[in-house]
């Protein structure tokens, strides 16, 4: 992956991280004030995505970003551009989803 591609993906991750933190803060406050049960699922989803983004940022820092955590091959830029927090190549992600379908 070229340096400009990593920079572009890092910016996308950081922007999404900031958005998620704001959404989590807003949803947490709403849950406290209104006891809204429907917000809980959204909050859980946002927290899970934030964890994935922070893990991707750690992989960027340690040099393992863009490498599939399952098979070790490079994840193509188009996949990372669409989903910058992706930890698996598309084939491994499909297998993972079939195996761990909820």
Buried b (16+ CB within 10 A) or exposed e, 30-59: ebeeeeeeebeeebeebeebbebbeebbeb
Predicted confidence (pLDDT) per residue in 46-70, tens digit: 899 999 999 999 999 999 999 999 9
**Greater pLDDT, 60 or 102:** 60
What CATH number should be reported for the domain holding residue 73? 1.20.120.910
Which residue range is the domain that position 38 belongs to?
3-99
User: Total domain count for the chain?
Assistant: 1
pTM of the model: 0.77
């Amino acid at each position: 992956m070229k340096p400009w591609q990593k920079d572009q993906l890092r910016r996308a991750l950081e922007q999404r991280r900031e958005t998620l933190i704001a959404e989590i803060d807003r949803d947490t406050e709403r849950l406290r004030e209104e006891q809204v049960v429907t917000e809980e699922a959204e909050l859980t989803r946002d927290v899970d995505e934030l964890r994935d983004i922070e893990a991707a940022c750690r992989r960027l820092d340690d040099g393992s970003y863009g490498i599939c955590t399952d098979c070790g091959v490079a994840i193509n830029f188009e996949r990372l551009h669409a989903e910058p927090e992706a930890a698996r190549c598309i084939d491994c992600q499909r297998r993972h989803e079939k195996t761990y379908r909820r």
